[in-house]
Structure 1
Amino acid sequence: MPIEILPHLSIPENEIEITYILASGPGGQNVNKVATAAQLRFDTVRASTLPHRIREKLREIAGQRITQSGVIVLTGRRFRSQQRNREDVLARLADLIRAAAHKPTFRVPTRPSRGAKQRRLDGKSRQSALKRSRQARHDD
């Protein structure tokens, strides 16, 4: 069953590898016996479903979570159960890919109008006059 990222983008489960490791933190004796922390590995180089642009953006925004060979490694140990930690790392991977898929809107650079420049200068003059009127007068 593929993991839905965006309406037009999903990742097959066979491209994601999840292993379970021992977790520290809350859980009592269960922490010492059961591997509840989920560690997700997603190879961006071999991911056939990801467009090249998203792959490159993932490399930029993943930071320390990506290895030299292009494998994203996420560890989830916030919860006490394997299932919730598994869902957590899958959601975090989906969020990371959504962030990489986001295209910033193109901004057309504009210049301030003549009226805007005049209003700015008038405001500066008014402020300057106000401050000048507050100064103490020195008679020589």
Structure 2
Amino acid sequence: MPIPEHEVEFTAVRAQGPGGQNVNKVSSAVHLRFDIRASSLPEHVKDRLLAWPDQRVSKDGVVVIKAQTARTQEQNKAEAWARLAELVAQASHIPRPRRATKPTRASKLRRLRGKAVRAEVKAGRGKVSD
């Protein structure tokens, strides 16, 4: 489900960690902010995203993703965009309800045969009496 560009806000920030002079001079890391409530996503997807147990979703209903692995701002922007798309795809996927099934007669017999064999093995480990 595509997300319109005008609903996403990018901010360039300085990256953390090693990188020497480049990391200290260049704002190559990217903060992506996406307001779930103000978005054009379907209601059921919004509800699932807001209920998501994820630290990237704030209490205000804003998804914040920080991308800083690449050296260029464009690559980090693309990575943040991909992570947001993945998050929305996970929220929009509704798992099929599980239908309970009963074990077949053959599987029950196999299980009981296995239990009988195991019981015999264990019974043979007892103390030997004259």
Q: TM-score, normalised by structure 1?
A: 0.84
Residue identity over aligned pairs, in percent, reads 42
Q: Distance in 1 between matches of 2:117 and 2:2?
A: 59
For the pair 1:37 / 2:37, whether they are aligned, the reply is no
1:91 CA displacement? 0.7
* 1:93 counterpart SS class: helix
Q: Secondary structure at the match of 1:64?
A: coil
Distance 1:86 1:123 in 2: 57
Moved over 6 A (4+): none
Q: Which runs of 5+ in 2 are unaligned?
A: none
Q: Which residue of 2 aligns with 1:112?
A: 103
Amino acid corresponding to residue 23 of structure 2 in structure 1: V
Q: CA RMSD in A?
A: 1.5
Residue 121 of structure 2, aligned match among 130, 135, 138? 130
1:13 aligns with 2:1: no
Match of 1:126, SS state, is helix
TM-score (norm 2): 0.90
Residues 62, 132 of structure 1: CA spacing in aligned structure 2 closer, same or farther, 3 A cutoff?
Answer: closer
2:78 is the counterpart of 1:78: no
Unaligned runs of 5+ in 1: 1-8
> Cα offset for 1:45?
0.2
1:61-117 per-residue CA deviation (whole Å, 9 max, x = no partner) reads: 351111111000000111121111111111110111111111212321111133322
Q: Secondary structure at the match of 2:20?
A: coil
Q: CA deviation at 1:40?
A: 0.2
AA partner of residue 117 (structure 1):
K
Aligned positions, number: 130
